[in-house]
A and B are shown apart, each in its own frame.
Chain A
Amino acid sequence: MIPELGSFALILALLVALVQGTLPLAGAARGSRPWIGLARPAARAQFLLVAVAFGCLTWAFVNNDFSVVYVAEHSNAQLPLMYRVAAVWGGHEGSLLLWMLMLATWTVAVSILSRHLPDAMVARVLGVLGLVSAGFLLFILLTSSPFERLLPAADEGRDLNPLLQDPGLAFHPPMLYMGYVGFSVAYAFAIAALLSGKLDAAWARWSRPWTTAAWVFLTLGIAIGSWWAYNELGWGGWWFWDPVENASFMPWLVGTALVHSLAVTEKRGGFKNWTVMLAIIAFSLSLLGTFLVRSGVLSSVHAFATDPRRGIFILLFLAVVIGGSLFLFALRAPKVGLGGAFGLVSRESLLLVNNVLLVVAAASVMLGTLYPLFVDALGLGKLSVGPPYFHAVFVPLMVPVLLLMAPGPLMRWKHGSFAEVLRRLAPALLAALVFAIAVPFAYGRWSLLVALGLALAAWIVGASVVGILARMRSSQLGLLAQPRSWWGMHVAHIGIAVFVVGVSLVKGYETEKDVRMEPNDTVSVGGYAFRFIGVRPEMGPNYRAMIGELELSKDGKVLQILHPEKRSYFSSSMPMTEAAIDYGLLRDLYVSLGEPIDERAWSVRVYYKPFVGWIWGGCLMMALGGVLAISDRRYRLRKAAAGKVAIQGAPA
């Protein structure tokens, strides 16, 4: 009964979404109050219905209802409760429902937090979101219903893919989807601006916190995914340039550009058309990511061709969204206009360069991701584009971005001077040189990449310090009284520097060894010694494990016993490697078990990874910067003083 209720709720949600996507838009165009007024209640009703559907599916998982196909395929009665809940989004149908729930959540959030916006604007934004929802609900109902029955019911489920049985799975997809889907709000604001033909600083101020929020979620989602791959896949890598990863990285790059271009639109009224365009691209890339991951086109172009319903639907949806938006853009962009003029040397130009480079970087990632698919689809052979391609293209494109991150925030709006900024940056330049020389020297091995990475990181941090000190001297208020968005920018920029340090040092100085070890054998990496004690069997709740024991020591002092595992889950024949990691601020030591070689010996993989934790630490700082920016007073003031006009010159 409950699954049918879920299905029914989805159908009702589709009807509500259709109302939400049509009447308020028409109402805003014709100035009809009652139709405009429909937007908010429709958004809330739709959220409730989607939440009910999601609740029904969760209920089926928690209660092991194996008469539902999707549950039988992705869960198992032995699975711990936490993973039964996480298994709701462990497959195609459920992840789409999660996507939909996120979309409904963003929509309802807009409907609640938009009291200070003009009603017609809210109606347009919610209307566009309603159309997007309608598309996705139709997709779920037509091609991917998670509520289909299995008759007769299975006695036992097939189990969740063991790789996904990790706390990382519980958080990674929801965060990532919150980010993906969050760009739909930025997109809806952009389309609303095109429809109304009005795009001013106030518009940018409304859409800015939403865009930043989506960006924060996407940043966290990608970081958690990378952390999960590092911990769970047993290869010690943190980024593989895999198409699925690229699918989330492209919207992140364009989203980053959008966050910066919105700053220009808000502060200077510039980049208007460009901002709208970026919002459209960011959301289109989110949809493209969904298409790549969900259509099966990645695992095989031919699998896509044999069961094309899902892929074709998303492709059509993509075509309608992109085509429709671009058509509207072409029609209305002249009315919106480009916005304020600025000098060739100004903060605007630096941000423009940042934008262009980020978009070009996203395009090069897209090319590397889609090229093999095209070649295969055209029958020209099979090939793959691996990490070397991405390194060769991405690094040279990012170096100028990082280089310009330092002068950017110090440059004046409209008209600045490079000479003045460079003079102020002299200490940062000095710091960059010192780090570029000192750190490779300390590690005892010269590496151009490490020197460059550290120089850029020190340059960026140095510039932030210069900026913060200058603000401290010039402002009578204390540093803590400075606007949160200003702090947010510095925290996020320093986060980038931290990330760059992590990447450079891991790439430059990591050591990996695959060795054959018998009990009491010792292997050393990065100045640490690992002594192999042995391997013993143990039982887990739904798996059997072989647990290795290795003693980690440095200079003869025992630090810790590490326990890497090899698990076999009862429900599948597939073994799973669980690495054991000794985490540290300055290095991680990573051990995973290979396979038994004979009676006594195992193959063992050990890694020394300097500063690898800084990669995720940097991402956390970027996200924290975003959160600080969203919490800025000027976004909240407007709510308290709705009615009153409280727009003062907002700080940069």
Chain B
Amino acid sequence: MKPRHKRFALVGGGLAVLGIAAALVLNAFQSNLVFFFTPTQIAAGEAPKGKAFRIGGLVKEGSLKRQSDGLTLQFIVTDTAKEFPVAYTGILPDLFREGKGVVAQGKLDDNGLFVASEVLAKHDENYMPPEAQHAVDEAQKAQKTVVAN
């Protein structure tokens, strides 16, 4: 094989690898990006049906209820403007508290309940999940605008 052909083969091979990788990445992005919605956005009907997404905000005080099986929990996530009910079966992370920030990942069911497959835990009690903070900030900003008008 001539050196020129060899170089072609090597460059071609490299490009093929890159192409395959790009295809994999795009494909994985398509199906695995998880978007975030605040309770206000969900109330406005912006959240997708039948596709996983994240919800974040504060756990409403006094809203945590345990069902009779002992493992299924229900609580309300609020961004201080709107509220949304969330159900989760399993053991909550150590940092889950009423009145504190929370982020959950899951899907909406037919009854308008957010069924979480995962409740995210962070490493510090004073730490507010950025998404939860964002949700509260957005809601308060919106309220201020309403008052100003």
A514's partner among B21, B71, B131 (CB-CB below 8 A) is: B71
Q: A353 — which chain B residues lie within 8 A by C-beta? A: 13, 17
Chain A contacts with B in 556-597, Cβ cutoff 8 A: 572-577, 592, 594-595, 597
Q: What number of A-B contacts does a CB cutoff of 8 Å give?
A: 107
Q: A597 — which chain B residues lie within 8 A by C-beta? A: 66, 70
Complex-state Cα separation, A598 to B70, whole angstroms: 9
Query: Does A434 make an interface contact (CB < 8 A)?
Result: no
Query: Does B89 make an interface contact (CB < 8 A)?
Result: yes
Complex-state Cα separation, A302 to B133, whole angstroms: 11
Complex-state Cα separation, A364 to B32, whole angstroms: 14
Complex-state Cα separation, A603 to B133, whole angstroms: 30
Q: B48 — which chain A residues lie within 8 A by C-beta? A: none
Query: Does A319 make an interface contact (CB < 8 A)?
Result: no
B70's partner among A364, A396, A601 (CB-CB below 8 A) is: A601
Given contacts A302-B130, A392-B24, A576-B94, contact A357 B29 (CB under 8 A): no
B69 touches A516 (CB 8 A): yes
* Distance to closest chain A CB from B50 (angstroms): 16
Given contacts A364-B25, A515-B71, contact A382 B134 (CB under 8 A): yes
Complex-state Cα separation, A573 to B13, whole angstroms: 57
Given contacts A364-B24, A594-B91, contact A382 B36 (CB under 8 A): yes
A383's partner among B10, B20, B25, B36 (CB-CB below 8 A) is: B36
Q: B70 — which chain A residues lie within 8 A by C-beta? A: 516, 597-598, 601, 603
A574 touches B94 (CB 8 A): yes
* Distance to closest chain A CB from B30 (angstroms): 10
Query: Does B149 make an interface contact (CB < 8 A)?
Result: no
Interface residues on chain B, size class: 35 or more
Query: Does A356 make an interface contact (CB < 8 A)?
Result: yes
Query: Does B92 make an interface contact (CB < 8 A)?
Result: yes
B18 touches A360 (CB 8 A): yes
Interface string of B27-58 (1 = CB under 8 A from A): 11101111110000000000000000010000
* Distance to closest chain B CB from A418 (angstroms): 14
Query: Does A234 make an interface contact (CB < 8 A)?
Result: yes
A574 touches B32 (CB 8 A): no
Given contacts A382-B36, A382-B131, contact A367 B25 (CB under 8 A): yes
* Distance to closest chain B CB from A170 (angstroms): 18
Complex-state Cα separation, A299 to B123, whole angstroms: 11
Interface string of A495-527 (1 = CB under 8 A from B): 000000000000000000011100000000000
Given contacts A364-B25, A603-B70, contact A572 B125 (CB under 8 A): yes
A300 touches B130 (CB 8 A): yes
Q: B18 — which chain A residues lie within 8 A by C-beta? A: 360
A516 touches B131 (CB 8 A): no
Query: Does A605 make an interface contact (CB < 8 A)?
Result: yes
Interface string of A217-251 (1 = CB under 8 A from B): 00000000000000000100000000000000000
Complex-state Cα separation, A29 to B120, whole angstroms: 55
Complex-state Cα separation, A587 to B66, whole angstroms: 33
Query: Does B14 make an interface contact (CB < 8 A)?
Result: yes
Complex-state Cα separation, A393 to B34, whole angstroms: 16
* Distance to closest chain B CB from A75 (angstroms): 16
Query: Does A386 make an interface contact (CB < 8 A)?
Result: yes
Q: A18 — which chain B residues lie within 8 A by C-beta? A: none
Q: A367 — which chain B residues lie within 8 A by C-beta? A: 25
Q: Which residues of B contact A (CB under 8 A)?
A: 1, 3, 6, 9-10, 13-14, 17-18, 20-21, 24-25, 27-29, 31-36, 54, 66, 69-71, 89-92, 94-95, 105, 123-125, 127, 130-131, 133-134
Q: Which residues of A contact B (CB under 8 A)?
A: 161, 163, 234, 299-303, 341, 343-344, 349, 352-353, 356-357, 360, 363-364, 367, 371, 381-386, 388-389, 392-393, 396-397, 514-516, 572-577, 592, 594-595, 597-598, 601, 603, 605
